[in-house]
Structure 1
Amino acid sequence: MKKLSFMLLVLLFVLINPEYGHAASGSNKIFLDGKELTAGQSVPVENVNGTIMVPLRMIAENLGYKVDWNQSAKTVTIGQQGKIIKLSVGQKTASVDGNSVTLSEAPILRNDTSLVPIRFISEQFGLKVDWDNKEKTVTITTPPASVSDGSSAGSDSSGKGTGSVTTPPDSASNLTMVNGVSFSGNQLIIAMTGSSKPKISVLNNPNRIVMDIPNATFSDTFGSGQALDPNLQGKLDATGYPDVKEIRYALFSSNPYTVRFVIELNYSKDFGYSTSEDSASKLAIVDLNATGGVAAAGSTGTTNNTTVPPGRDGKKLIVLDAGHGAKDSGAVGITGKYEKNFNLAVVLKAQELLKKESDIDVVLTRSDDTFLELKDRVAIANNLNADLFVSVHANSSSTSVASGTETYYKRDESKAFAKVMHKYLVQATGLSDRGVQYGNFHVIRETKMPAILLEVGYLSNKKDEAALFTEDLQYRVAEAIVSGIKEYLGIS
């Protein structure tokens, strides 16, 4: 079974890669427990829309699995110890022991070699897969046996672990999908798709807030964006937040399916909690800034929605969106720098400045190297009824001559905000003024409040790129964002 697990994971894992929206191939390498798999590799690993496609023949020859190819039906059958997996070229639906499973990309043929995506059974077979984007290397290792010590979100208060994790059943379409999570401004924000209602418990020894989402599992989007180990557990960085010792999450149970988030506190404190009611794209928010909300740590039980979400206390709510993240690097600069890192650096600086404004609340769509779907970024702003939405980006062009700063709007109600913001942005960058422009971008089209997208400079231009990755320019851009927001809102 261990050998089969290697094979299956290599075949079915959606890998992280910054090239987005088209196929790309190269001299990728695959290592299995430290050994490079090279024999029979006549076709390179290929990236199709963010999914890594691996040559099946190479895996079979190196690992000795039983793999049958039906030329007329264009079907691959993998068998080991009674387990049967069938995949067909051009079809996104595979068969696992007679059950239908949807793949991220359909298998393809290259020089009579079938290339197959890898992803969905990683959670069933528990292998650790790492992607080195710089070296273009896949590293597969067999993790040690998982032993719960009671410190994981995947264990209950008695310290008893939940055991092995299985793949969701055919009825997975009825499950709520947890798509993303972020922690910024002392607020935990969880994005979901589905109808499940989270349940909150407040526990002591140690002090912690526990959120269980019943009938739920992690979506593929979550697994490719946030840290998620083979046992479907992970943690968020809470550095700089004195209230919080640790934030962790896990697929707590697979019978029934339950996703658990745990905020371990350094001391007992009040907090607030709310969820949006839109089941198509729901947010759950635990706000550690709130007072007089849910009972302090030390009591137990399920709570109702008890807090006022950000921006509901008379303050204006601003949502800042750092474009791209994790597997989606955005533009790659002329010296190899990633747009996603620039975007986040600016947004974090702007957040710190906005926190000093007594009339403004700020929420980030991401506060670390996390991947969120565009619809989830929009959902955060819409479900919170934000007053303004600002998405930060850096541009790229096929020519290295292109340079300068642009501000985009989609809807008429956003145009005035774009003009105000652009004035400050151009002053801050000192780059060419490329003007305020109309743009049909998802995050500024689907949001319900004035929303703009900033293209601060061109990473494909050597001078622009060098400037964008300086602390001085990033801070000036952050100041410009704050100034533009305040002028547009009439805040002195």
Structure 2
Amino acid sequence: MKKIINVVGIFLLFLSGVLGVTPSVGHAAIYQPRLVIDGKVTDPFVPLQIVNNRTLMPVIQLQKSMGMSVEWDGAKRQVTVKDLGKVCVMTIGSTIVYVNGVKKTIDTAPIIIGDRTYVPFRVLGNLIGHIVAYEDATKTVIYNRTLGFSLNGKMIPMKMYKLPESTYADLFSLNKGLGISYSLNGNILSLTKGSLHVDLPLLTQASGSGGYRCIDGYKVIPLSTVMYLMNGKGQWEGNNFSITTTQSTSSPLPAAGFTVVIDPGHGGLDSGCIGADGKTYEKNFTLSTSQKLKSRLLLNPNFKVLMTREGDTSLSLEERVNVANNVGANVFISIHANAFDNSAANGTESFYYNPTSQPFADVIHKHLLQATQFQDRGLKVESFRVLTQTNMPAVLIEVGFLTNSSNLAEMNSDSFKQNVAEELYQAILEYYNKVNS
């Protein structure tokens, strides 16, 4: 009897030769990489298996984690996977598959190990039309649906990979489609578009940002770098990313640069507030968002950036103030998330203290609201120590409420944090242009 299972979630993955393990046909080796599905790290429901240098995924993972329909026909020993208008029929022990009725041959057959049915998912992903890739440096298997890319409304072929740290675009596609030129000196990738130039280091850690990666052997760079080189603003619309170019209004800075100090709230033993889900900590949200803002700012040679903390460390308020004052920062921004006993409380608010900080706070709050699209709780005057003791324009932002389930769902999204970082960058750039005009 045929059983039909409708599935919630997303995932189809495969990689080949990732560990140098070559078990014989019919024998499997357990493999547990970092799985990233549509930009989110996902724990496998049961371990993956390597057979003949092919990674196989259990059908139960399809049932538990993917947004597609799966059918199992016990009599015929067949698995049918449906997604994106494609119907793939695979038979246990056979390398013959049918895609929308068309016969194809694959190199590794679905198998049964114990009481689990396993399928080769790079093969399956490619047949359906998904992006399936592998980053060797971080042992990361990447799966996402094919993403669209446009420049000023014109669609441009672009292979893109979603990771928790950022979404990355293939350098070959960028060179061909956007005219971004590049050269490699050791592990430093130099990128140029017109008068704009940036050097990126090679990233070899999963949590790294502000550099380039090698995925499936190809160099890829973050979309924030693409936006900078194209002198444009970007936004996601569903699975499509669009960049609209703008005219540069920045003025040259003296060699000393314009120093921005970013203060990720809390850290170390001070977790800050805890989200409605019981597992989201303010200190992690503020650090992740701050790192994205730092990476974006460093793409502009006009800015020098310093963070009060780079990791999960504890700092007193005095230490945070001293970081900014000791380097003679031009502006200071402290990033926080809000909380309240009443879970209905929600929205975005910003604070400043000294009147000289108001112009900076005005543009920060304006752009922050554009990023969050949350309720506007206003720009307020408050005597927080990081605002009263700093010697430069300073602002403290509360991005949203982790204790509100709706705000929390957005704030846990990597794309949301990237949007916040981008709008904060645009705010700092706008303020910089005003004070240097």
Q: TM-score, normalised by structure 1?
A: 0.37
Q: TM-score, normalised by structure 2?
A: 0.41
